[in-house]
Chain A
Amino acid sequence: MKRIFAATGAGLAAAVFLASAVAAAEITIGLGADVTSMDPHYHTLSPNNNIATHVFGTLIDQDEMQKLKPGLAESWRIIDDSTWEFKLRRGVKFHDGSDFTADDVVATLARVPAVPNSPAAFTIYTKSIAGVSVVDPHTMIVKTAGPYPLLPTDLSNIFIISQKQAKAATEDFNAGKAMNGTGPFKFASWARGDRINLVRNDGYWGPKPAWDKVTFKLITNDPSRVAALLAGDLNAIEIVPTADMAKLKTNKDINIFRVVSNRIIFFHLDTDRDVSPFVTDKQGKPLDRNPLKDLRVRKALSKALNRPGIVDRVMEGEAIPAGQLLPDGFYGTSPNLKPEAYDVEGARKLLAEAGYPQGFAITIHGPNNRYVNDEKIVQAAAQMFARIGVDAKVETMPSNVFFTRANKLEFSFMLVGWGSGTGEVSSPLRSLLATFDAARGMGTANRGRYSNKQMDALLDQALATVDDAKREKLLQQASEVAINNLGIIPLHYQVNSWATRKGVMYVPRTDENTLALEFKPRS
């Protein structure tokens, strides 16, 4: 019907041409978050990194489960605790035709700290590197400041640019001039806030992309994105709104692809201060001690949460009840940790034991535009706390205000989320639960100021252990200590979802990336 309508119009030739081209090898994908820059080293922001992944390569890639796999480096090995050798892939060419060599990697690592005005630099992934030496064009040695097992993981986040662009400015990337990578797609154009066009890189070293042209449309409004898919303007969308999931599932023209994500939604709670600002008795008078410091209270609150209920009703099934920091199967997760069961009676009993038979009052804070259904989750939790006698008030705010205040430790009990870009459990342990130590970068997001010596020790040990098996054991132990002690109260893991028009398949990814390479026409 649309075709007919278009064909009657003035732009007949163009419309028909476009329409038929779509059928051939074009894909239009709706993205849910705005891309701020094309510079692969300017701002470590998922939408930016997602685009960079298309155009640039990394030494080490992450698969759809965030397992590391060879990328531009064919292999790597540990020479000693702080020395790594990387063998680079041969025959790889940049989009401009030049060969990929170790010098490009050196140039990239040199550029990362030199990008001006970066609000969030990629240096967090390169700071462990003490020196790089080139053995031959396809072999290089990386030395770290101390034992640093996460080096490959960190390097999987660094996009390799050609040495020709070593001095390129952010503007050059934004304008497309410097968009010279080794990735499966070449940069074509970017209309800021609207769309990004890519074309196939026929010289790509890996599997051949199915699409000649890729268009990413930026539609941050959820219903609009769904509507565009339903209207057939898009072949695929990311971040399917949970509200529409049920309906889309029944739509024969739509395919849904889902996988559990690396993002956990949890409550952070003030376990540090003796008087916490938003915990009072039921009349609103301050309490003489902070009940949240009492493990029994934390346990009671955890038991009061009906996780399956939230998953079912608030998240429309698009989440999985959480018992630890990453879903089972991720590196460093403990098989012993299970989601706390919903148990109102048990919770009441624990509260009484802790000396709060009548409960107390608390304000739950949360952002209202950061996580999937964040505002609704907070309300649901408040409902559930009310059932065990804890009067919970809800206060949500835009994330700009929320995070500023949270970082100033203004809250007592707050909803936050954490996505582990590295795909393993040391990331949340280090940032969320380690004792706050700004200089060492420990507990940077520990907004409850949870502190546990035993956990700190286990984590430090793990982070200095290069042996993967041993490290995993240590991380599992650290997780168990922190979670059993309820340094945070885990709620659920988000589920990443994509929806496509019939005929297009996708391999869903835990890291939320929407990779055109992974969309395949059904054969």
Chain B
Amino acid sequence: MTAPDTALEPALAAKPQTPFQRFLADFFDSKIATAGLVVLAIILFVAIFAPWISPQNPYDLSKLDIMDGRLEPGTKSMDGKPFLLGTDDQGRDMLSAIFYGLRTSLAVGVTASFCAMILGMTMGLTAAYFGGLVETIIMRIVDIQLSFPSILIALILLAVLGQGVDKIIIALIAVQWAYYARTTRGTALVERRKEYIEAAQCLALGDRRVVFRHLFPNCLPPIIVVNTVLIANAIALEATLSFLGLGLPITEPSLGLLIANGFTYLLSGKYWISFFPGVALLFTIVSINLVGDQLRDVLNPRLQK
């Protein structure tokens, strides 16, 4: 009567998936999200290999010739090189500039969000796990920070710090860490009350082990979702700050700065200086958001079955 039942449900037995495989299968279920991921992959490839695939190094001023400035897409330079997407006012090949700009934008967005994630997650986990005064202090700071518009914080911070990739990354981290801290703490508080954590405590596993082996991995999914959204936000915010004249140095333009530079030429019909970077930015943010949306759905425990 008490014979061990070894028969697993056939449906389950047929597909021995790891959570990751299951996650992949769910993810690719949506065509539009898959398309987003493909676009994102192309963008990432371009960004990473920009120095090897760009016709020109747009960041090296000695490679530019101002006499090539503002050429229309498809025209040839003075020494015969074609400019597929035209040039900007400095004679920068727009195609190369977009490749490099993607690189900068993504680097800024990803680095800033990643650093903010590390900082925010540490803070959030610390707050959730220790509780008490530590939690009160951390969460007050988070509250204060979140009760203030991000763009203003970035604006003032950048005014103080000055320009530069490092500066804008610092500003973006300062703006974003609080979101991670809040999300992490919220999730950690929910997960902490779950029975598997109690089980781990009951098994007399050490605090650190409980936090890092049990609590932390289960807090990750919402943070990953927040992360994709915030990377997109960081890229858009950087573009906006560049538009407002703060942010990156002019010689190493990100997509936002390229748009801002071309902005002045829009009404004069030289659309390509602003338009193509705008399209690149659009594709980047949309694809990240598409992927993020799908991640949200796939990782949402309530929609999971």
Contact = CB atoms under 8 A, between A and B. Distances in A.
Whether both chains belong to one complex is answered with: yes
A227 interface: yes
A310 B66 contact: yes
A400 B158 CA distance: 12
Contacts of B26: none
Interface in B35-62: 61-62
A318 interface: no
Interface stretch (A147-155, A243-251, A429-437): A243-251
A313 B67 contact: yes
A223 B263 contact: yes
Chain A contact-residue range equals 35 or more
B162 A313 contact: no
A382 B89 contact: no
Given A380-B66, A383-B61, A383-B62, A243 B251 contact: no
Interface stretch (A27-35, A391-399, A475-483): A391-399
Interface stretch (B131-139, B144-152, B169-177, B267-275): B267-275
Nearest to A306: B66
B268 A243 contact: yes
Interface in A143-165: none
Q: Which of B62, B66, B89, B245 has the most CB of A within 10 A?
A: B66
A440 to B, nearest CB: 34
A378 B91 CA distance: 14
Interface in B176-198: none
Given A309-B67, A313-B67, A401-B162, A368 B267 contact: no
Contacts of A395: 163, 249
Contacts of A400: 159
A397 B264 contact: no
Nearest to B270: A243
Nearest to B92: A379
A396 B264 contact: no
Does more than half of chain B's interface fall in helix, strand or loop, or is it mixed?
loop
Chain B contact-residue range equals 20 to 34
A223 B264 contact: yes
Nearest to A241: B264
Contacts of A401: 159, 162
Nearest to B65: A383
Contacts of A386: 61-62
Contact of A398 (B62, B66, B246, B249): B246
Interface string A368-392: 1100000110111011101100011
B266 interface: yes
Interface string B47-86: 0000000000000011011110110000000000000000
Given A313-B67, A394-B250, A387 B62 contact: yes
Contacts of A368: 245, 250
Given A309-B66, A379-B61, A394-B251, 16 more contacts: A223-B263, A223-B264, A223-B266, A230-B267, A247-B267, A378-B250, A380-B66, A380-B90, A382-B61, A382-B251, A383-B64, A386-B61, A394-B249, A395-B249, A397-B162, A398-B159
Interface of A: 222-223, 226-227, 230, 241, 243-248, 306, 309-310, 313-314, 368-369, 375-376, 378-380, 382-384, 386-387, 391-398, 400-401
28 contacts: A223-B266, A223-B267, A230-B267, A241-B264, A243-B268, A244-B264, A248-B268, A310-B66, A314-B69, A314-B89, A368-B250, A369-B245, A375-B250, A382-B251, A383-B65, A383-B90, A384-B66, A391-B62, A392-B61, A394-B61, A394-B250, A394-B251, A395-B163, A396-B163, A396-B249, A398-B159, A398-B245, A401-B162
Interface of B: 61-62, 64-67, 69-70, 89-91, 159, 162-163, 245-246, 249-251, 263-270
